[in-house]
Structure 1
């Protein structure tokens, strides 16, 4: 069993790198807080007058100021939350970065207003929980799903390179497992760069994705068949978004079958 503490990041430089990625990718954040309820109309008594309200809204990370132990969040799209939020209230922030959940707690310090922008100035989090473990979100491709890939060695020879085909067996935001039928002389060695010319899974289409062969596993039941463990070298933002969407769809389908 993996150690949950492995996902808790306390190193300030590492935290800064992750939070900058949230800004760079314009990731949507879910910001939630327990706040004091709104007062009942005069002369009326509310049964929930003393019970805290758990409210949430959507936000984005705007700016980092590690030198002053602060960061700025866009004001969440929840008017009640904004009215009731007070300095010292704890905020719980959730996001997804490269298909992996990210979570941290912070404390609201003050509201900053500039032109038509409202921002929550908050304390820098002590811990960022980022569960990036190898294979944590690798999901299987159902046999009933249409899935196909065409690839070649990435040796800069353009259209002169032989093109091979295979079927994706599993996928994550970092790479995929590809089942191929290959002659012994055509099996790439680990570390070999390849170019995925076309990739089709679940109605999504990608093209020209560079990758590296990380491992090769022969199929003991079928001669000439092997599974290539591929790691994406670089995913364009649009490809990353659609791949994340496919992975989430597959996870939801898998959860329904459990």
Structure 2
């Protein structure tokens, strides 16, 4: 899309017009913007011109759009010249002729041009087949994410990020470090801040527009080169069989692509974590979409619930273990998936209908997302006073309002897993202080699964609990939690449930990955520098673990 007319100066001197047209005639120098089309300019070649009479354009790369130009659709030539952006007035074809498989457009020589000194107004967009990766990192927290470069200018860039733990930093416009890597191995680093965000929950991505933080002269020169090369490569790629443009050196592969998964992972990542990652990414972008005023995407919620059902059928222990390895995700994402996967695993073991299992999984995934609509400063407080506690309780009705498009979710399931999951048998819960007589079996079960998961995780001002301490606390609070469902939960997942951290008598520490029929660990991931695995005879001879340990995410 071309800049607004107000941003340009008019150029009427014949010598100056010819000078700027010479710049557009250079390889990759010109593009064509169609009249009334709010889209990126299209690559063309200004093949020749005769001052005062005619311009001749090679428009072969436009394909079927050539016919529209032949029928009189207006257009402008745009490009760069003399350190600025150049644009012609609206032009129309005098004739279009085909010769040797190429299309040549003749139009009137412009009596004036428009020139814009602000070179940063032009964004060079990467076309299909052009790839450049971007590592985005928040230095203070160490949180990072990887994405794809979509366009580049002298003042910023647009990046499509796979959702991770960066959304808070992006929304707060905190200073981040960007590192752009091109296929030839060239890198460009700059501090930047996110100025524009758009979530795409369906794809689990966030489109972020970044503004570079006061680049120095050397960075500006580098940016100018990269913008020009991206432009040129875009023209070459779009040109098909054109041979007049050499490939840009930036896009000649000369180095392996940077690692694109789990840049913060401490240990080797099990395959199931990669399988679970799209669901985590969807939840992350759904939170951002909620904060931007949207509602829960009913179609995507259904698809993600189906995805978890399929993963559970494929490898239930692998999926349970994976919920403890999402260290790069926000707490609301990790907790939502943890509750969903454990509730699903329990429901499947009791032969609940598949439709009910899916609804339970979906509701559990999003049950806490109303907190994304609360101030983050409030959620970060380790201790809440009475007023703040009431404020936090408001997350339940906030989410219920945003679930109005999810008609496929049955009302009883939504009431049990979203509305009543924080209620307690003695009426001490929220938001409506319902007591035992008003709580369904599903709500009683969900509350046990919910509390067991959240107590096992690191939270603001609160350390995680061991699974042994969680079980004892649930048993002790039988006035608040249904003792039968507590016992059933413990019997199903066992004393050493998959995902918990255990210590053996000889001092070995590992996270349980698989259990035998007696509920004893038969495979653990070691809590050591290499994060290796231990199973078979080497684990069996150690006997039963002596204790469980608090276990923050790896």
Larger helix fraction of residues: 2
Larger Rg: 2
More strand by share: 1
User: How high is the TM-score relative to the length of structure 2?
Assistant: 0.23
The TM-score normalised by the length of structure 1 is 0.46
